Structure 1
């Protein structure tokens, strides 16, 4: 619950006094000038602000500017001084020790200069959300802009005056309650920064609107939550496919080739340099020419061996009926389709780690509807952002296809030179769609999202599909009472199946 403002004058005093509590060794006008864009951008995100110094402190921390939590607190009420000290210990110290701070700082530094205030505002909102902070003070954007447009020296003078005067107790009480709420919320929070913050900042300039940003945050949070439930390492099952020559871009990462021996056969660029000693300046025939004609010159020979690795193709198929999964189930923090996107990201990350010795290629294929439209256009854009790192490496791609049969036919063709796994995210409970007579060599997995508790089915032939449904029905019924535990279970099951 936010703290209600009493009057515009109190809000102005609250804002000026709060700026004077920035944890800086020697607070100057320049430091205040850099914090103004962060405050305005945060106000655009939310009409209720935390203590203003928190926004400036977080912005300076992620920008790599050292804070000074041991600096003396300006002369003010004893309760406010104690609240600021508690804020130093429980908020700033926690933020400075966060393991994701470096990744967040790097992602923010890579943003264009014009987007950095928006990035700081996003971080403020995310940290407050992780802490569960709800004691923000409502501030009129027009009033805040009018106050912050004043010269920094005038703001500091007004702030120090407000901190000392007895007639500003209402504004100081609001500041005190805000700092106390920050310290209390930080003590209860599990983590203040995470993967979602760095991931979203890396993609901030590509995000189109707040809705897409929130979807990306939630998908990454779901991926984090599912990843924490997986063991650090899983044993891969034996595979029958033989190693194949790896892609050219992968060869560049390994020291293949090089000089291995000396021979009498070769090209001039590989000539042993000591053979040049037989060349003479005289116009007559020299010993070098004789040795060349007789084939006695020495050449380095290269080891032309080719590195081979097993090839793996993992395809995730997202049909148009997945729009039915845009629902939120009781006991799960996110929509069903958002958790499925987080599951996709979680599997891509973990399989890239576990199968690093193999040539991996991930494909996310979105199917067209009967009228040719792509109902999951928003999810497709989200998937492109989630897999941007792997797409840049050339190990992942996001595609569209007309029908599931087209995808199965393509998978069967790829299965001639690689092990191919196909995962269908199905919200209509139609497993029969995966029974394709020409895809016997393709490992097919169905993630059934037709109910609150998802289920996984592996299809290798018609008989095994029917048996799988019967054997898994009791397990699915048992997990109906806890949908999130069902998500945890299918994540592990899919990871084991794809290994």
Structure 2
């Protein structure tokens, strides 16, 4: 049974006592001062707070400050002391061993100083969500601000007094329940950190509001979930396109033109430095001169070969009809359009890994509506954030186009120097018929999002359309998880079709 904080005095004791339990050797007023901005930022995230020491511990952990889980717990209720020990083992131990901790710490360190409290508050909220923690204590923001604005030394003194005060039983019971709930939730959680946290922190400076941040988190979570369904490696099918010289402006990005071997022919600037041991100070002829005349000195030689790689252009087309996919289907955690963007990110990541020896270029093209408007402007901004890493490298771009004909004409022109694939993400089927007018050298794929279970239709030629959708059950009722299974299936089919 959950204990309620029924009075402002109980809430104040709960807050102050929580500040005295972070897992470090000595809790100092300076540590409390550093944590107050994190706590105030967390109040803006959620009015229901976990034990405050958890916020302090997580903030110090991602900042690279070592914790001290073996430090003694202040003298208080035996049940609270046992709960803190369980919290040490199951929460802090799990967090310290998380494989994504280093990426999260690096992303947080790159944030401007003014944004770091907001980043830590976001991280705390995400970890609690991953754990399924629901035992937070509702706290009035006004009361919490008033308490946290007091001098840190005074807060610590009040907290240690509350830990030993028999009259603060309600606050201590609530604090104990919070720690027990944290330990229990961490034991059940599959992972406490993931790609979504590091990805969102890297883009936190560019996010416009909480709605866009939540959409980014969900798209990355969807990409992470779809990626787990793909095999580590897939074999690319053979292609007839020959390797082409890499563009001149890209030459510096590849390991070419360095020293490749040793020869007895070359210039003095490439002389092997060990040859200098044959030089002597005497004015007479030395062994170095003899070796030079005889052509026996050794020189480094450079590899001046041209870098050649196959070129690949993969274009994802998102027409305005995709607004019909802003729906949430049974058995799927995210909106259909959010999962589609997660699938796009998943394919970009995996294809970049599988086709690392080729010159890849990804394009996400958003089409205008007939009246010239951009119904998918929010999705376009989200896609720019999802592909920011590849856009910074110059291997991806997010653009707009007036019509599908313009996109297909551009794809046809690119086939002269690259293998080109076009993937249409469509929920209306109104633009799919235009694919049949494209040249045969462009690989065409349609991801049909017009139903809860998506399907892939690969146009191998202009007469045959392969549909991956399974027939509906005779009674018309979908099985539990059937729609998500369809998403996993189309992800694998698209990955195989694009290789």
With normalisation by structure 2, the TM-score equals 0.89
Residue in 1 that maps onto 2:23: 23
Residue in 1 that maps onto 2:149: 149
Q: 1:257 Cα shift?
A: 3.2
Q: 1:402 Cα shift?
A: 0.3
Residue in 1 that maps onto 2:294: none
Question: 3-state DSSP class of the match of 1:23?
Answer: coil
Q: 1:86 Cα shift?
A: 0.7
Residue in 1 that maps onto 2:325: 325
Q: 1:65 Cα shift?
A: 0.6
Residue in 1 that maps onto 2:372: 372
Q: Is 1:9 matched up with 2:9?
A: yes
Deviations 1:378-397 (A, max 9, x none): 00000000000000000000
Cα distance between partner residues in 1 of 2:269 and 2:472: 67
Deviations 1:360-381 (A, max 9, x none): 0000000000111110000000
Structure 1 stretches of 5 or more lacking a match? 275-298
Q: 1:460 Cα shift?
A: 3.3
The answer (yes or no) to whether the contact 2:3–2:173 under 8 Å persists in 1 is no
Cα distance between partner residues in 2 of 1:476 and 1:321: 24
Cα distance between partner residues in 1 of 2:152 and 2:100: 32
The answer (yes or no) to whether the contact 1:2–1:137 under 8 Å persists in 2 is no
Deviates most, 190-199 or 253-262: 253-262
Residue in 1 that maps onto 2:192: 192
Cα distance between partner residues in 1 of 2:3 and 2:206: 35
Question: 3-state DSSP class of the match of 1:229?
Answer: coil
- Pairwise mapping of residues 375-394 of structure 1 onto structure 2 (< 5 A)? 375-394=375-394
Cα distance between partner residues in 2 of 1:403 and 1:33: 56
Deviations 1:16-56 (A, max 9, x none): 00100111101111111111111100011000100010011
Deviates most, 225-234 or 247-256: 247-256
Q: 1:473 Cα shift?
A: 4.9
Residue in 1 that maps onto 2:97: 97
Q: 1:485 Cα shift?
A: 0.1
Residue in 1 that maps onto 2:112: 112
Question: 3-state DSSP class of the match of 1:252?
Answer: helix
Q: What root-mean-square deviation, in Å, do the aligned CA atoms of Structure 1 and Structure 2 show?
A: 2.4
Question: 3-state DSSP class of the match of 1:80?
Answer: helix
In structure 2, the CA distance between the partners of 1:362 and 1:2, relative to structure 1 (3 Å rule), is farther
- Pairwise mapping of residues 39-438 of structure 1 onto structure 2 (< 5 A)? 39-257=39-257, 304-430=304-430, 432-438=432-438
Deviations 1:31-89 (A, max 9, x none): 11111111100011000100010011110100111111110000000111111111111
Residue in 1 that maps onto 2:287: none
- Pairwise mapping of residues 468-483 of structure 1 onto structure 2 (< 5 A)? 468-469=466-467, 472-474=468-470, 481=479, 482-483=482-483
Q: 1:252 Cα shift?
A: 1.3
Question: 3-state DSSP class of the match of 2:84?
Answer: helix
Deviations 1:253-285 (A, max 9, x none): 334335888999x9x99999x9xxxxxxxxxxx
The answer (yes or no) to whether the contact 1:5–1:11 under 8 Å persists in 2 is yes
In structure 2, the CA distance between the partners of 1:271 and 1:35, relative to structure 1 (3 Å rule), is closer
Cα distance between partner residues in 2 of 1:2 and 1:123: 26
Structure 2 stretches of 5 or more lacking a match? 276-298
Residue in 2 that maps onto 1:463: 463
Cα distance between partner residues in 2 of 1:336 and 1:302: 53
Deviations 1:123-155 (A, max 9, x none): 010000000001110111111111111111111
Cα distance between partner residues in 2 of 1:115 and 1:34: 14
Deviations 1:179-210 (A, max 9, x none): 11111100100000000000000000000000
Question: 3-state DSSP class of the match of 2:24?
Answer: coil
Give the number of aligned pairs: 469
Deviates most, 365-374 or 240-249: 240-249
